[in-house]
Amino acid sequence: MSDDGDLPWRFSADQGLEDQLFDRDRHIRYLEMNYHLLPSPYEGQEIIRLTLAYFTISGLHILDALDRVDREAVINWVLSLQAHPKNEAELNNGQFYGFHGSRSSQFKSLDNGVSVPNNSHLASTYCALAILKTVGYDFSLIDFSSILKSMKNLQQPDGSFMPIHTGAETDLRFVYCAAVISSLLDDWSGMDKEKAKNYILSCQSYDGGFGLIPGQESHGGATYCAVASLRLMGLIEDDLVSRCTSSSIIDVPLLLDWCLQRQADDGGFQGRPNKISDTCYAFWVGGVLRILGANNFIDEITLRKFLLTCQSEYGGFSKFPGQLPDPYHSYYGFTAFSMLQETGLNSFNVELGISTVTL
């Protein structure tokens, strides 16, 4: 073997971290294991089981291993979680008719006259549609109009979205969910884009990043939700950094500088200044930079090095180096590597949060 230190596949007697590779096979096995059965500690996340499914199935798609999935079973299970209004009157009763995150929020009413409200959730709805899109389900087969008609009920006067009509926190996460749902269904009748835009803009902080709610500290995840939503709504252009025009509804130079400073000395990305690097921000912040057209300003070599220290021997990725993997950080580790154009991985649509490579 030549002693060329630049070759990424050089082997040495003791495999130091510099020689570590992205272990695609091991990651596929990790996802397959999750796909078939999640161990009991995951009952603490039972309510978001559909989200765990999204991480697993979309993850397999990114790793170009979607053949491991029983497409029909997935479609049937996901569709079984949809909330259906019984009639026109029910559709207009103010509830949101989307998808439930799991059976824990989905109740079949007994014949005792007690009406059971549906607890379908905006984030679960996004995950459901993302999974269906991923496995190539033909959206024209089903009428999704009840989702869009009832989604309007969730939008607040200030433009933000509540995820469930029975009451919950309202913030940028759910504005993003509404925008990406509208985008996947290619129908914007379910939300007032102008109001949503104003809410998003009110979340941009003095330092260029976005907080989750107006007045809050800039945060990597919130910034992704803001920028991805604006992009999906067509309110900011692609590749803003290359365009010399400074007119944009957001302060792009300040945002750019804030995002780039989130790459820490260890190469990983942090969610806020002075916090430690965490795998998932390679997606949240890295994704924003990609949307802005500034991904070449990232130090990809040291980012890769950091991410590989979070790669688990069990497959998947952990939040911090040397910890156990979890579905969430694993998924965002995979998306980060896709953005780094890792061999063997499918390309990834940052704003939609899925790979749009067709099967």
Sequence-distant (≥ 6) Cβ neighbours of residue 189 within 8 angstroms: 148, 149
Residue 210, both tokens: 């976005």
Nearest distance, CB of residue 111 and another protein, angstroms: 11
Nearest distance, CB of residue 162 and another protein, angstroms: 10
Q: How far is CA 347 from CA 78, 224, 287, in A?
A: 24, 18, 13
How far apart are the C-alpha atoms of 290 and 265, rounded to whole Å? 20
With respect to another protein, which residue has the nearer C-beta, 134 or 183?
Answer: 134
Binding segment for another protein (CB under 8 A), chosen from 136-144, 187-195, 253-261, 347-355, is 253-261
Which of 108, 157, 186, 341 binds another protein (CB under 8 A)? It is 108
Q: Is 37 left (phi over 0), alpha (psi -120 to 50) or beta?
A: beta
302 binds another protein (CB under 8 A): yes
CA atoms lying within 13 Å on the CB side of residue 338 = 27
How far apart are the C-alpha atoms of 207 and 226, rounded to whole Å? 15
239 binds another protein (CB under 8 A): no
13 binds another protein (CB under 8 A): no
**Residues between 21 and 80 with contacts to another protein, criterion CB under 8 A:** 34-40, 42-49, 52-53, 56-57, 70, 72-74, 76-78, 80
Which of 11, 244, 322, 341 binds another protein (CB under 8 A)? It is 244
Q: Are 226 and 348 in contact (CB under 8 A)?
A: no
Burial degree of 248 (CB within 10 A; 0-12, 13-18, 19+): middle
**Residues between 161 and 200 with contacts to another protein, criterion CB under 8 A:** 164, 166-169
Residue 9, both tokens: 């596949």
With respect to another protein, which residue has the nearer C-beta, 105 or 223?
Answer: 105
How far apart are the C-alpha atoms of 31 and 316, rounded to whole Å? 8
Which of 82, 183, 263, 309 binds another protein (CB under 8 A)? It is 263
SS3 23: coil
Nearest distance, CB of residue 31 and another protein, angstroms: 10
With respect to another protein, which residue has the nearer C-beta, 27 or 49?
Answer: 49
Binding segment for another protein (CB under 8 A), chosen from 137-145, 187-195, 202-210, 277-285, is 202-210
**Residues between 205 and 234 with contacts to another protein, criterion CB under 8 A:** 205-207, 212-213, 215-217, 219
With respect to another protein, which residue has the nearer C-beta, 9 or 206?
Answer: 206
How far apart are the C-alpha atoms of 213 and 288, rounded to whole Å? 18
With respect to another protein, which residue has the nearer C-beta, 12 or 109?
Answer: 109
Residue in the block written with tokens 């909330």: 83
How far apart are the C-alpha atoms of 322 and 39, rounded to whole Å? 20
**Site size with another protein, rule: CB under 8 A:** 73
How far apart are the C-alpha atoms of 241 and 246, rounded to whole Å? 9
Binding segment for another protein (CB under 8 A), chosen from 14-22, 106-114, 179-187, 223-231, is 106-114
Residue in the block written with tokens 């379908």: 120
| Terminal alpha carbon distance of the chain | 38
Binding segment for another protein (CB under 8 A), chosen from 97-105, 151-159, 193-201, 223-231, is 97-105
With respect to another protein, which residue has the nearer C-beta, 158 or 194?
Answer: 158
Which of 7, 17, 116, 141 binds another protein (CB under 8 A)? It is 116
104 binds another protein (CB under 8 A): yes
Q: Are 56 and 34 in contact (CB under 8 A)?
A: yes
With respect to another protein, which residue has the nearer C-beta, 40 or 87?
Answer: 40
With respect to another protein, which residue has the nearer C-beta, 10 or 84?
Answer: 84
